[in-house]
Amino acid sequence: MVTTDALRHFGPHWYAPVMGTAVVATAGAALGSGPRAVYGAVWALSAVLLVLVPAARAGHWRHHPGQARAHLLDPAVAPFYGCLAMAPLAVGTATLTVGRDVLGGRAALAVAAVLFGAGTLLGLVVAVTVPYLIAVRHRPAVADVSPVWLLPVVAPMVSAASAPLLVPYLPAGQWRAALLFGGYGLFGVSLLATLALLPLILARLLLGGPPPLALTPALFLVLGPLGQSVTAVHQLAGAAVGTPYAGVLAALAVGYGVPVLGFALFWLALAAALVVRAVRRGMRFSMTWWAFTFPVGTCVTGAAGLGRRTGLVALEWLAVALFALLVAAWAVAAWCTLRGLLRGALPAAAGAATGVGAGVPARARTA
């Protein structure tokens, strides 16, 4: 189990299991059917993790402040601070969609609002701070470009997808409009930053070759901003019903969502093929396997939303298929993580945990 000494390597990537667990509940609810009691149990587990992980992280900063600062200045680890912002947002969304069955409407709303506020504020701070550190302090080479760079900038997109759930609870008028269009502003922050990074990631993959074996699952992180942005435009358009912009925003949800979901499926196939290659070459479990969960979950919610908006049964079945993949990935990642904790293999050293060779410059690593 986790000891004070083991907390030395309890990095920000440990928020990924919180996100990956919460999205199972949210994605299941998005399908509109299924065992809500099971989804409620998964939400409760994510809520427990949201308490335990920050407690362990506080112990990390208290007992190993030097290592904590080293993580923040490590270009391979610092982007995982994006998970710090997305974890409360993911649990907050699950609380309002599934947790209300357990907590009741008023309590669930209060918890979701607090988590949304905290996650959004953290997300904006991380979205600026981590790119700043990469540019000023880390100074990586082009060969060091990694899908994990998306983690800090995708956090505002998670807020954009969560904000519409809170809109109906605000007084009509300026308050609702501010949150609605604030959601679109957060959408723009994340989308434009993602569009700037995606060409670098694809170019790095095509020109530099596959990533190191342990880092290969991180390719699934690209699905996060894609699926979450589709979810966000659908949710935002739904929250705009009754406004003068409803028709335009509904058309945007479909006009944007369908092609982006198509690209997400292309990337899913490409990333899956590279993961199969890595497995054949001996890839073993690391915490990067949690990249198979939350990003796929956002594609489930995006496909389910588009299916309801367009009436296409094919999209509904796609959402079901992606949900099956999500549940399988979550079960494997959760089991391997629990086994690693019980055996004392986790928390691993920061480099191993994130799929990066500790102490080895990124540009010197090979697949």
Q: What percent of the chain has pLDDT over 90?
A: 81
**Confidence label for 3 from pLDDT (cuts 50, 70 and 90):** low
Task: Tell me the one-letter amino acid at 252.
Answer: L
Q: What's the chain's length in residues?
A: 367
In this predicted structure, what is the pLDDT of residue 361?
35
Domain boundaries, the chain: 6-351
Per-residue pLDDT averaged across 339-346, rounded? Answer: 89
Reduced to 3 states, what is the DSSP secondary structure of residue 257?
Answer: helix
Q: What percent of the chain has pLDDT over 70?
A: 94
How many whole angstroms separate alpha carbon 201 and alpha carbon 315? 28
Per-chain mean pLDDT for the chain: 91
Per residue in 262-309, pLDDT (tens digit) is 999 999 999 999 999 999 999 999 999 999 999 999 999 999 999 999
In this predicted structure, what is the pLDDT of residue 1?
46
Task: Tell me the one-letter amino acid at 300.
Answer: V
Per residue in 78-100, pLDDT (tens digit) is 999 999 999 999 999 999 999 99
In this predicted structure, what is the pLDDT of residue 135?
86
Q: What is the CATH number of domain 6-351?
A: 1.50.10.150
Per residue in 107-142, pLDDT (tens digit) is 999 999 999 999 999 999 999 999 998 888 877 887
In this predicted structure, what is the pLDDT of residue 346?
85
In this predicted structure, the answer to whether residue 364 has a pLDDT above a threshold of 60 is no
In this predicted structure, what is the pLDDT of residue 339?
94
Per residue in 174-194, pLDDT (tens digit) is 999 999 999 999 999 999 999
Q: Which residues fall within 8 angstroms of residue 23, CB to CB, at 6 or more apart? A: 90, 94, 293, 294, 297, 298, 300, 301, 326
How many whole angstroms separate alpha carbon 16 and alpha carbon 260? 24
How many whole angstroms separate alpha carbon 94 and alpha carbon 92? 5
Report the run of H or E that residue 147 belongs to, with start and end. Answer: none
